[in-house]
C-alpha cells in the first residue's frame, strides 16, 4: 500500500522542482547575497516543516517566518538555523524570544523595551532588524521617528541592531517600477541616516521574490524569497517584466512544487433535470455521471470555484457542478470513460498532459496565486515526492 492509498486528500511536494527553484536563485545571486526563504503561512500552504526540510537539503541556512508560533514550530522540529521573525510579537510573549534564539523585526519602542527586558532577564543579546518606512506604510519606522528609535536602541545594551530592512509596496502589481525605485532610493537614504546616527555596521535587506528576480541592485546582503521558491511567479507582470528584460530565451526555470490530490468518494448517475448541491445552483441537462469528492471550502478549496472550476480525472478536465460545500464537491464525469470509485483526482497540478496551475485557480476564484496556496488547510497531509 502506498502512503497515499488511505488518504482522501493530500498534497505532494516535488523535491526536484524545489531544488530547481533554489538553483535558479543561486544563479541570480551568485555569492553576493544570502538567500533567506520565507516559510510563513505554513510555508505558503506547502507545509512549514516540509518546506524548511527541502530548503535545508538545498543548503539554505536562513528562514523567515511571520509569527512566534511559526518560529517555535521550526525550533521544535529541530531547525537550528537562523530565523528572522518578520511579524509583530505580542508584548506579553516577548519573553519567549530569547529561548527561541530568533531575530526579531524592530518597529516600535514599546516592543524594543519588552525585548530588551526579555534579553536582560535571559542574560542574552537579541538581534533585531529595524524595519524602515519606505512607502508601504505598514510596519516601518518613519524618517521622523528614526532618531528617537536609534537613541532607544543605543540605550538597550542587550539589543544588537543586526540589519535594516524594508518591503516593496508596488513591484508585483505593475510593469511600471517607478514607485519601487523611489522606495529603493528612500531605503538607501534611511540606511545612511542610521549610519549617521552612530551605528557603523549592519546588514541591509529589501528584496522579496519579484525584486530579487527583476532588480539585482535590491539584493544587498540578503534576499527574502517567498512565493518563487515554491515555483510560482509573483505575478504575470513580474513574469512579463522578466521576459522583457532578459529575452524569451532567458533562464526562467521556476517549477511549481505543489500538487493537491483527492479521490472519488462516490459515483452516481442523475437523470436530466436534477439539481446538484446547496441552493440548487446547477441543473443537469442530460443524464449525468457525477463524482463526489471529499473536499470542500474548509480544506481551503475556494468556494468561488463553484460551477466555475474543474479538476482532472483520467487525464481529462471534469467540470465542477453546483456549490462547493464545507467538505464535499461534485464533478461531472459524464464524458470521461472508465471512471472508478477512489480514482485519483487532481485539484492542483498535473495529470497526464493536463495541468491546473495556482494561477488558473486564482483567475477562476478572483484572487492571486499566493492566496490559493496559502489557504490550503494545514490538516491536509503533505508528502515529499521526487
Ligand X SMILES: *Cc1c(COP(=O)(O)O)cnc(C)c1O
Active site residues: 40, 278
330: left (phi over 0), alpha (psi -120 to 50) or beta: beta
Pairing state between β 310-313 and 316-319: antiparallel
The three-class DSSP label of residue 354 is strand
Pairing state between β 288-293 and 310-313: unpaired
C-alpha cell read off for 206: 529589501
Of the two residues 254 and 331, which places its CB atom closer to ligand X in the complex?
Answer: 254
Nearest to 229 by CA among 56, 31, 33, 87: 56
Q: Which of 9, 46, 177, 224 binds ligand X (CB under 6 A)?
A: 224
Of the two residues 229 and 351, which places its CB atom closer to ligand X in the complex?
Answer: 229
Determine the size of the site formed for ligand X (CB under 6 A). 13
Beta bridge partners of 325: none
Q: Are 35 and 26 in contact (CB under 8 A)?
A: yes
Q: Fill in the per-residue mask, 201 to 220: x = in contact with ligand X (CB under 6 A), - = not in contact.
A: -------xxx----------
Q: Which residue, judged by CB position, is nearest to ligand X in the bound state?
A: 226
Nearest to 97 by CA among 121, 130, 131, 63: 121
Stretch that binds ligand X, among 146-154, 226-234, 241-249, 305-313 (CB under 6 A): 226-234
Q: What is the DSSP letter of 320?
A: B
Q: Are 323 and 305 in contact (CB under 8 A)?
A: no
Q: Which of 37, 58, 86, 356 binds ligand X (CB under 6 A)?
A: 86
Q: Fill in the per-residue mask, 251 to 280: x = in contact with ligand X (CB under 6 A), - = not in contact.
A: ------------------------------
Q: Fill in the per-residue mask, 165 to 184: x = in contact with ligand X (CB under 6 A), - = not in contact.
A: --x-----------------
Calpha distance 172→228 (Å, rounded):
12
For the bound state, the minimum distance from the C-beta of residue 64 to ligand X, rounded and expressed in Å, comes to: 7
For the bound state, the minimum distance from the C-beta of residue 107 to ligand X, rounded and expressed in Å, comes to: 11
Of the two residues 74 and 210, which places its CB atom closer to ligand X in the complex?
Answer: 210
Of the two residues 134 and 351, which places its CB atom closer to ligand X in the complex?
Answer: 134
User: Which residues would be at the binding site for ligand X (CB under 6 A)?
Assistant: 38, 40, 86, 167, 208-210, 224-228, 234
Amino acid at each position: 500500500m502506498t502512503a497515499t492509498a488511505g488518504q482522501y486528500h493530500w498534497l505532494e511536494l516535488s523535491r526536484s522542482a524545489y531544488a530547481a527553484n533554489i538553483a535558479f536563485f543561486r544563479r541570480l545571486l551568485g555569492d553576493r547575497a544570502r538567500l533567506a526563504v520565507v516559510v510563513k503561512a505554513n510555508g505558503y500552504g506547502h507545509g512549514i516543516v516540509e518546506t524548511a526540510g527541502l530548503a535545508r537539503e538545498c543548503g539554505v541556512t536562513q528562514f523567515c517566518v511571520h509569527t512566534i508560533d511559526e518560529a517555535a514550530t521550526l525550533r521544535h522540529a529541530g531547525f537550528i538555523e537562523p530565523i528572522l521573525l518578520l511579524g509583530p510579537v505580542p508584548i506579553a510573549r516577548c519573553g519567549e524570544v530569547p529561548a527561541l534564539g530568533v531575530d526579531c523585526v524592530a518597529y516600535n519602542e514599546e516592543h524594543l523595551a519588552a525585548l530588551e527586558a526579555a534579553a536582560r532577564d535571559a542574560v542574552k543579546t537579541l538581534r533585531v532588524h529595524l524595519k524602515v518606512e519606505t512607502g508601504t506604510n505598514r510596519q516601518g519606522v518613519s524618517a521622523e521617528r528614526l532618531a528617537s528609535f536609534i537613541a532607544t536602541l543605543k540605550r538597550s545594551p542587550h539589543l544588537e541592531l543586526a540589519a535594516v530592512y524594508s518591503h516593496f509596496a508596488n513591484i508585483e502589481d505593475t510593469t511600471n517600477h517607478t514607485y519601487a525605485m523611489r522606495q529603493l532610493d528612500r531605503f538607501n537614504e534611511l540606511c545612511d541616516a542610521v549610519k549617521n546616527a552612530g551605528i557603523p555596521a549592519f546588514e541591509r535587506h529589501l528584496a522579496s521574490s519579484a525584486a530579487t528576480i527583476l532588480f539585482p541592485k535590491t539584493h544587498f546582503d540578503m534576499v527574502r524569497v517567498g512565493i518563487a521558491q515554491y515555483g510560482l511567479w509573483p505575478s504575470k507582470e513580474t513574469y512579463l517584466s522578466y521576459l522583457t528584460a532578459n529575452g524569451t530565451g532567458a533562464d526562467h526555470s521556476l517549477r511549481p512544487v505543489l500538487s493537491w490530490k483527492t479521490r472519488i468518494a462516490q459515483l452516481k448517475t442523475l437523470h436530466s433535470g436534477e439539481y446538484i448541491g446547496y441552493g440548487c445552483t446547477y441543473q443537469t441537462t442530460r443524464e449525468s455521471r457525477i463524482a463526489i469528492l471529499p473536499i470542500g471550502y474548509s480544506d481551503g478549496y475556494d468556494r468561488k470555484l463553484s460551477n466555475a472550476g474543474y479538476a482532472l480525472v483520467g487525464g481529462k478536465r471534469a467540470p465542477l457542478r453546483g456549490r462547493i460545500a464545507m467538505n464535499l464537491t461534485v464533478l461531472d464525469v459524464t464524458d470521461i470513460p472508465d471512471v472508478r470509485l477512489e480514482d485519483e483526482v487532481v485539484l492542483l497540478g498535473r495529470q497526464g498532459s493536463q495541468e491546473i496551475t495556482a494561477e488558473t485557480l486564482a483567475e477562476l476564484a478572483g484572487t492571486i496565486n499566493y492566496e490559493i496556496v496559502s489557504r490550503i488547510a494545514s490538516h491536509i497531509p503533505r508528502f515529499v515526492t521526487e
